[in-house]
Amino acid sequence: MTYCAIDFGTSNSAVAVPDSDGGTRLVALEGSQPTMPTAVFYAVDLDSAHPPELHYGRAALAAYVDGFDGRLMRSMKSVLGSPLVTQDTDIGAGHRVKYQDVIAAFLRRLKAQAETQLGAPVRRAVLGRPVFFVDEDAGRDAAAQAALEAAARSVGFEELQFQYEPIAAALDHERNVQREELVLVADIGGGTSDFSLVRVGPGRSERLQRQDDILASHGVHVAGTDFDRRIELLAVLPCCGFRGQGPSGREVPSKVYFDLATWHLINTVYTPPRVAELRGMRDFYADPLQHRRLMKVVQDHLGHALGSLAEGAKIEVAHSGHACIDLSLLEPGLASELDETQALQALDADLQRIADAAVETVRRAGVAPAEVGALYFTGGSTGLKPLTDRIAAAFPAARSVRGERFASVAQGLGLHAARCFGAVQ
């Protein structure tokens, strides 16, 4: 019986399996791509009762962009530990699905891809998990792992182990170190920023039990999707009335905008009672054009599209210092400008909270910042240079090492899985 290792990420996922020479390799999940966006699109036929057709990853995003009828589900990991995980949601044409079943469907796809490449059933797996699914709430954190385990077992995984994602990244880093050192792993993805201070070295790499090498772990539930939310609220949703004023000078109610900027809450805005409520708020707006644009977003289900525009603007500003956001889907010729100064001001509190978590991790280990030999950056959000620069500034003696942003955790989980399951056939 073989095995796999799954990095089920908020934004992207990857899978590692054993290879013929005793090591591990990443599975090609879409064409030759070793990573896949964590997304499922439920395509529905409005004229029939046929069950929805599921699309995954890039194909899911393409189906949504192309305007297929149905429901796009992203950031599913974010609902773990929340009451939403056991609730169902409308996906169109009278179909409903539980959020936990969406997670299971995605895990089933990853499992099937691993089995196709291995040519054998896969019933054992190591799953990565963040240091904290939910900040400062042990009960909800345990419930989040239990929900993920239940989803994994429901698709046929019989033997499961969990490993912290930053520990997996440390294992990947350890393959390239020549001497023992302390490495602060910064795993910053879409949903969480996790840190672990780990002792690594050539003499430790074959040990299965590494708990004593983990000096401290800490994390915050702030990462890439929070950055996207800040950008959307700053540069996209004001044209739809966010922070707009009513005839009396009072600010219009803001809850709808925060829901539209939060991936797993967007579809709650589309329910008939909510739409009727928003339609009745027209007189709340001094500028009727803002309300008209808001209603277009709601009636045409454009919330996820606006979120994608915000994410794209964040990336463009990181690369070039400026972004022009094309909002013509709301109104011909409509656009919004965003520069680096504005973006960093909007993200400053989040960036500082993440950097503070890095410092707190080392403090909890009873280690001076100067004793940290390396910072190992992994996760999609470590592509944001102002973030990594801010973390590095707190550890001036440490060298910065960049892992594969979307794959190093899966590679490290694969190493752990090989040590856990490799000798058990």
pLDDT of 424: 42
User: Up-side HSE of residue 209: CA atoms within 13 Å toward CB?
Assistant: 1
Q: Which residue has the higher pLDDT, 1 or 113?
A: 113
Question: For the segment 187-241, what is each residue's pLDDT rounded down to a tens digit?
Answer: 898 888 989 999 998 877 666 666 678 899 898 989 999 999 999 999 999 999 9
Q: Exposure of 220 by Cβ count < 10 A (0-12 exposed, 13-18 middle, 19+ buried)?
A: buried
The residue among 184, 124, 155, 137 whose CA lies nearest residue 4 is 124
Sorted by sequence, the CB contacts under 8 Å of residue 89 that are 6+ apart come out as 71, 96, 97, 98, 99, 267
Contact 165, 7 (CB under 8 A): yes
Pairing of the two strands 2-8 and 122-129: parallel
Partners of 35 in the β-ladder: 14
The residue among 409, 351, 410, 425 whose CA lies nearest residue 185 is 409
Question: For the segment 175-191, what is each residue's pLDDT rounded down to a tens digit?
Answer: 888 899 999 999 898 88
Instruction: Give strand ranges (E) for 133-271.
Output: 159-164, 181-188, 193-200, 214-220
263 pLDDT band, cuts 50/70/90, is: confident
Highest mean pLDDT out of 60-74, 130-144, 257-271: 257-271
- Lookup result for tokens 């959307």: 232
pLDDT of 244: 96
Distances, alpha carbon 301 to alpha carbons 22, 198, 238, 294, in Å: 49, 45, 18, 10
The CATH homologous superfamily for domain 179-222+354-403 is ATPase, nucleotide binding domain (3.30.420.40)
pLDDT of 1: 62
What is the rounded CA–CA span in Å between residue 110 and residue 29?
7
Domain residue ranges of the chain, discontinuous segments joined by +: 179-222+354-403, 225-345
Both tokens assigned to 337:
């400008």
What is the rounded CA–CA span in Å between residue 4 and residue 169?
16
The angle formed by the CA atoms of residues 123, 124 and 129, to the nearest 5 degrees, is 125
